[in-house]
Amino acid sequence: MEKLNLLGVALGLACLAGINLYLTVFATGLAIHFHWITLSPAYQSLEVLGDPVIITVAGVLYFLEFLADKIPWIDSAWDAVHTVIRPIGGALLAIQVLGHPSPALTVIVALLAGGTSLVTHTAKAATRLASNTSPEPFSNIALSFGEDLAVLGGLALVHFNPLLALSIFATAIAAFLYFAPKILRAMKAKIWLALNKLNSPADLNMPVKLPLMLPARLASIFRRQNVLGETIVWAAPCLSGRGRRIPPNLFGALVATNEEPHKILFVARKNGRPFAQTIELEGLRVAHEPKFLSENLIIFPAAGKGPKYLFTFPRPRAAVVEQIVEYLCERLGQRERAAGEPHVDPAVLA
């Protein structure tokens, strides 16, 4: 039981270090230094965290992180820098908990603790990237305070019931790993959109011609679906959003053909495997929705309930989205928007 408790404390601290390494060290050091907690003989190796120098350094670094965490995109840059620092810090904390174990056990614990810290760090970084799609800072501030409270609560749980803490952390990590492919796709998508936004602004007045060729990695998927030999009118690379039978955050392309004016095809690769989905446009409307990081193409029912689709384009391709909307409206016999008319019915976004 004592060894399980040691493992619970070691991996618990590593897990919390992945969220906020400096707060973990700072709060633990303060608790030890001011005797808010009494270390049992098994944990005497942690007494070094109560050293005033360590507390001061950790406190200064935590103050910097406290400020950085509140600013959109600065928090993500801070997380990027700490992708290496937090796992190493978590591994060192775990080794310190064990005192002076055998070299083999030291390596095993370091690997487990470093991996644990990396998982929680990745979960935090992904959450921050998702929150940064909104230009307001309040979600970042709320997340920052929530993370700090989670670390403090986790430290208390590790102190009072290491086994329960180990069980909770293990369950959370298992859940994250289960959803990891979706989370990592979302992270990749947000980074891609952010980099495109930084490279050039949206410009609706820029002359544009819809692309006719699919990227090589998608052309074979279209050929497999194109059993009737249809010819491409345009093929626009984009990112999938929500939609019936279409997973989000797939890098693919929308394809329109001459032979099927009331259909478009979305082709992509999902986990390396070909993916294709035909979208029937009968009874649907299309609209262009500008967002902070992206230009969205929305396909929604003209009346009543029905399938809804969203496809995301980088901000510099605003003119491409406008061209697609005009093309599809013409094909569907829908009027073009009048000047000043909203891009999309607000009810569609509900």
Q: What is the pLDDT of residues 19-51, one digit of tens each?
A: 999 999 999 999 999 988 877 787 788 899 999
Tracing tokens 């989370």 back to the chain, one arrives at 183
pLDDT of residue 227: 67
| C-alpha dist (Å) from residue 8 to 27, 112, 148, 154, 160 | 18, 12, 20, 12, 11
CATH classification of 216-349 is 2.30.29.30, yes or no?
yes
- Indicate if the pLDDT at residue 52 is higher than 80: yes
Share of the chain above pLDDT 90, in %: 48
DSSP 72: T
Mean pLDDT of 317-346: 71
pLDDT of residue 198: 74
DSSP 295: E
pLDDT digits (tens, 9 = 90+) for 180-199: 888 888 888 888 888 887 77
- Indicate if the pLDDT at residue 337 is higher than 50: no
pLDDT digits (tens, 9 = 90+) for 266-301: 999 988 899 999 999 988 999 999 988 889 999 999
Between 346 and 209, the more confident residue is 209
Residue pair 54/82 in contact (Cβ under 8 Å)? The answer is no
User: What is the H or E stretch that residue 254 is in?
Assistant: strand 251-257
d(CA 231, CA 32): 72
Between 349 and 324, the more confident residue is 324
Q: Which of 185-194, 195-204, 232-241 has the lowest mean pLDDT?
A: 195-204
Mean pLDDT of 193-218: 78
Task: Share the mean pLDDT of the chain.
Answer: 86
Q: Where in the chain is the domain with CATH 2.30.29.30?
A: 216-349
pLDDT of residue 203: 61
Between 341 and 108, the more confident residue is 108
Q: Which residues pair with 311 in a beta bridge?
A: 240, 297
**Helices marked H in the chain:** 2-33, 52-68, 74-98, 103-131, 138-160, 162-199, 216-225, 318-332
pLDDT digits (tens, 9 = 90+) for 57-81: 999 999 999 999 888 889 989 999 9
User: Which is nearest to 7 in space by CA: 158, 137, 142, 157?
Assistant: 158
pLDDT digits (tens, 9 = 90+) for 109-143: 899 999 999 999 999 998 888 787 766 678 888 88
- Indicate if the pLDDT at residue 206 is higher than 80: no
Contacts of 80 (CB under 8 A, 6+ apart): 125
pLDDT of residue 347: 39
pTM over 0.75: no
Q: pLDDT-based confidence at 98, cuts 50/70/90?
A: confident
DSSP 204-253: TTS------S--HHHHHHHHHH-TT-PPEEEEEEEEEEEETT--SS-EEE
Share of the chain above pLDDT 70, in %: 92
- Indicate if the pLDDT at residue 319 is higher than 70: yes
pLDDT of residue 341: 43
User: Which is nearest to 285 in space by CA: 267, 265, 309?
Assistant: 309
Beta-carbon neighbour count of residue 51 at 10 Å?
Answer: 13
- Sheet of 263-270: strand order equals 273-280, 263-270, 251-257, 232-243, 309-314, 294-301, 284-290
pLDDT of residue 324: 94
Mean pLDDT of 212-217: 89
pLDDT of residue 205: 64
Would the CA dihedral through 75, 179, 197, 273 be positive or negative? positive
- Indicate if the pLDDT at residue 340 is higher than 70: no
Between 181 and 200, the more confident residue is 181
